[in-house]
């Protein structure tokens, strides 16, 4: 099992950032790697169990299920159902924590997954830099 963790500080309050990232269908509005997204079967995007179906800008198709959503903890957990990346048993959590010194928040994105032997470093780098850090960098630009 691969464990991956990326964190950052965003110069905006957790309430404000959460309002943007809470929507499980809202990835294209803040993540630069996502072209489009829809929730399957017309379900609400904040219903645990809903499935988002999206396309990456490089043409990949991914389906993910929302496993947990907490407005109190500013956190969402999801799993990948289908992906061209070659990961299995992928579960990730995106979480914000208010920073009490100023109007900032601490953002954490973590994941656990399995993959074919020999792909661990490649996938860890791709997900850490191309997904998690790219998302944090985009959020930081939105709150400059």
Q: For 8-32, what is the mean pLDDT?
A: 96
Separation CA 6–CA 27 (nearest Å): 18
- Helices 14-21 and 134-142: crossing angle in degrees, nearest 10, is 120
The percent of residues in the chain predicted with pLDDT above 90, rounded, is 99
* Spacing of C-alpha 3 from chain mean position: 15
DSSP H stretches of helix in the chain: 14-21, 27-30, 120-125, 134-142
**What is the C-alpha to C-alpha distance for residues 110 and 107, in angstroms, rounded to an integer?**
10
Give the tens place of pLDDT for each residue, 35-53: 999 999 999 999 999 999 9
Alpha carbon 1 to its chain centroid, in Å, reads 19
Both tokens of 23, joined, read: 């929507």
Mean pLDDT of the residues in the chain: 96
User: Rounded CA gap, 74 and 101, in Å?
Assistant: 18
Instruction: Locate the domains of the chain by residue range.
Output: 2-142
Summarised one tens digit per residue, pLDDT across range 57-107 is: 999 999 999 999 999 999 999 999 999 999 999 999 999 999 999 899 999
Task: Please give the share of the chain, as a percent, with pLDDT higher than 70.
Answer: 100
Query: CA nearest 35: which of 64, 49, 58, 56?
Result: 56
Q: Where are the beta strands (DSSP E) in 40-103?
A: 51-56, 61-70, 75-82, 87-99
Q: What is the pLDDT of residue 31?
A: 97
Q: Please state, in angstroms and rounded to a whole number, the distance separating the CA atoms of residues 62 and 53.
A: 6
**What is the fold, at CATH topology level, of the domain defined by 2-142?**
Alpha-D-Glucose-1,6-Bisphosphate; Chain A, domain 4 (3.30.530)
pLDDT of residue 115: 95
In this structure, what token pair is assigned to residue 27?
């990835």
The whole-number pLDDT of residue 144 equals 87
């Amino acid at each position: 099992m691969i464990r991956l963790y990326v964190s950052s500080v965003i110069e905006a309050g957790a309430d404000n950032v959460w309002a943007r990232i809470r929507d499980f269908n809202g990835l294209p509005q803040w993540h630069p790697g996502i072209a489009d997204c829809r929730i399957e079967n017309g379900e609400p995007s904040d219903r645990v169990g809903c499935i988002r179906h999206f396309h990456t800008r490089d043409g990949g198709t991914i389906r993910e299920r929302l496993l947990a959503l907490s407005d109190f903890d500013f956190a969402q957990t999801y799993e990948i159902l289908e992906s061209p990346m070659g990961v299995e048993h992928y579960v990730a959590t995106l979480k914000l924590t208010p920073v009490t010194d100023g109007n900032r928040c601490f953002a954490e994105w973590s994941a656990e997954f399995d993959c074919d032997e020999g792909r661990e470093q490649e996938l860890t780098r791709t997900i850490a830099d191309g997904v998690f850090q790219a998302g944090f960098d985009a959020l930081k630009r939105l709150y400059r």
